[in-house]
Amino acid sequence: MIYQTFQPHPDLKSFVDCYWTLEISAKNDAGKQRIIPDGCIEMAFILGDDIKRYTSKNEFILQPRAMVLGQTIEPFYIEPTGYVYTFAIRFYPYGFANFVTIPLKNLVNKETPIKLLFGDKIAKELEQDIIQAKDTKQRVEIIENFLFEQLKDTSTIEKIVKSTVDILFLTKGNISITNALKEDLSARRQLERKFKKQIGISPKQLAKVIRLQTALKLLLSKQAESFTKIAYESDYYDQAHFIKDFKEFTGTTPKKFLGNNNMVLSTLFYKEP
Residue 54, pLDDT above cutoff 90: yes
Residue 72 CB partners (closer than 8 Å, separation 6+): 35, 37, 38, 108, 109
Residues 60-78: tens digit of each pLDDT: 999 999 999 998 888 889 9
For the chain, the structural domain boundaries read 2-153, 155-203, 210-270
Structure confidence by residue, pLDDT tens digits, 156-208: 445 556 666 666 666 666 655 555 555 455 556 666 777 777 777 777 777 88
The closest alpha carbon to 46, from 111, 91, 122, belongs to: 111
Torsion region of 258: left, alpha or beta (phi above 0 gives left; psi -120 to 50 gives alpha): beta
Select the more confidently predicted residue: 72 or 132.
132
| 210-270 is a CATH 1.10.10.60 domain | yes
> What is the mean predicted confidence (pLDDT) over 17-24?
95
Could you give the residue ranges of the DSSP H alpha helices within 112-158?
115-118, 120-132, 136-150
Q: What is the CATH number of domain 2-153?
A: 2.60.120.10
pTM summary value:
0.70
In the sheet with 76-80, reading across from the earlier edge strand, the strands are 33-35, 76-80, 51-54, 60-62
Given a contact cutoff of 8 angstroms between Cβ atoms, the answer to whether 109 and 74 are in contact is yes
Give the least confident one: 18-22, 146-150, 192-196.
192-196
DSSP for 226-245?
A: SHHHHHHHTT-SSHHHHHHH
pLDDT tens sequence across 97-119: 888 888 888 998 899 999 999 99
H or E element that contains 214: helix 203-221
Q: What mean pLDDT value characterizes the chain?
A: 82
User: Helix, strand or coil for residue 46?
Assistant: strand
- Give yes or no on whether 2-153 and 210-270 have one common fold: no
Question: What's the pLDDT band for 225 if we cut at 50, 70, 90?
Answer: low
| Rounded CA separation 231/251 (Å) | 18
The stretch 143-165 carries a mean pLDDT of 69
Q: CA dihedral defined by 244, 249, 252, 257, rounded to 10 degrees?
A: -110
Is residue 220 pLDDT above 60, yes or no?
yes
